Amino acid sequence: MPEPETPVTFPPGFLWGAATSAYQIEGAVREDGRTPSIWDTFSHTPGKTAGGEHGDTAVDHYHRYRDDVALMAELGLGAYRFSVSWPRVQPTGRGPAVQRGLDFYRRLVDELLAHGIQPAVTLYHWDLPQELEDAGGWPVRDTALRFAEYAGIVGEALGDRVEQWITLNEPWCSAFLGYGSGVHAPGRTDAAASLRAAHHLNLGHGLGTSALRAAMPARNTVAVSLNSSVVRTVSQSPADLAAARRIDDLANGVFHGPMLQGAYPKHLFADTSSVTDWSFVLDGDLQLINQPLDALGLNYYTPALVSAGDASGGGSSADGHGASEHSPWPGAEDVTFHQTPGERTEMGWTIDPTGLHDLIMRYTREAPGLPLHITENGAAYDDKPDPEGRVHDPERIAYLHGHLSAVRRAIGDGADVRGYYLWSLMDNFEWSYGYGKRFGAVYVDYATLARTPKSSAHWYGQAARTAELPPVPVAE
């Protein structure tokens, strides 16, 4: 008989969580003073989302949050990462808060704490108030100042009960998918604007970090969640390595350089000189951005595979970020992205847990002493209930087992990883893909909004309760 596998166990105190974002789950877009965000506008613009779908109702978490928290507790989750809707708190993006909006998050936090679940608040998960976009959006400096004001408001309201804070989620997507390729809100296609947006997101992060610390108890932690890419090359040729370095600077260094080291990558300005002169970077900005962090959030789904441009290449069309005639890679439009080999999820993304291990170890080397959290990781599959109403998703269980094993391997290699947040708690509005891509551990019937935990939810709940990965079920 084969030897039984050694159980994969996690250290005491490791946080087992799940994550969501406001626009994807809350609904109630016109209630209690909330005004439109850029995603309300974008999703109601014909042709921008699959089937013209939008988040007006989403999965109605705004009204069902108590049941959703009870479900988290039933599954055994120890932490829940959610985002605050900026236009629910500050409808115009400036001025005093709407207390009815803040009250929803106060109630949500109290409900989580009553069930023994640690809340982790993300301040910005892509839902810029439309009024700020009308004034120029992230490409203008004032948006960073407005974000700092908003951060202080939310920190003061919830900082007595929430200890874990995240300023921005995936600023790369906000800058380069929102203002470069246009596949995300606000749907602009201006390469220079995307680089200005990246800098002002950095500035907003730094100013927002300072505002949070001024408004909250010193015990609270402040982090940022980056979807840093694992960039691999087709060959070790000098041209391919140079292409990978350019993409790495645009995917990773443009954010972690200023945030963690106080400097942009040394080649970035020259590589993008045909797009912008970077005159929007003012004296003192890098010091404002480079605020000490208490942790770093890493979001990982799949690696990237690139080469120097060639006549048969697909440019950025195979980068996994949605189809557009406009590239999200300013100054690197000639770099070719390739489909990585292997099994894929419904998003077309290759399943490769080694990329998560590599990502963790990179930041362990480059930011020594900075605790890490995996703030997003998960997979979309075409989940359907069986005749008894149960939802079996063995592919997701295998995905989670592989990636959590990679996290544990990194911990064994010396990485200080403190927690893992499954993306996502439940099926929801998947941005420009509408409701067609199901990332949830909990199945949502979009006609009735009934919630049904999938097999993966029970599997993950057992892992959370025991700090040990259950075996992957054998396919029937």
The residues annotated as belonging to the active site are 170, 376
The amino acid sitting at 162 is: V
* Strand blocks (E) in 254-394: 296-299, 304-307, 336-338, 372-377
Distance, CA of 97 to CA of 135 (rounded, Å):
19
Please enumerate in sequence order all residues whose Cβ is within 8 A of that of 148, keeping only pairs 6 or more positions apart, or say none: 204, 207, 208, 210, 211
Q: Could you count the other beta carbons within 10 Å of the beta carbon of residue 242?
A: 14
Sheet holding 304-307: strands in order across? 231-233, 304-307, 336-338
C-alpha distances in angstroms, 140 versus 201, 253, 278? 10, 21, 13
Pair 23, 84: CB distance under 8 Å? no
User: Whose CA is closest to 431, among 328, 337, 329, 322?
Assistant: 322
DSSP SS3 for 418:
strand
> Which backbone phi and psi does 30 adopt, to 5 degrees?
-120, 15
113, burial (CB in 10 Å: exposed 0-12, middle 13-18, buried 19+): middle
Residue of 440, 335, 354, 360 whose CA lies nearest to 403: 354
Residue from 124, 291, 144, 285 nearest 206 by CA: 291
Rounded CA-CA distance 47/52 in Å is: 6
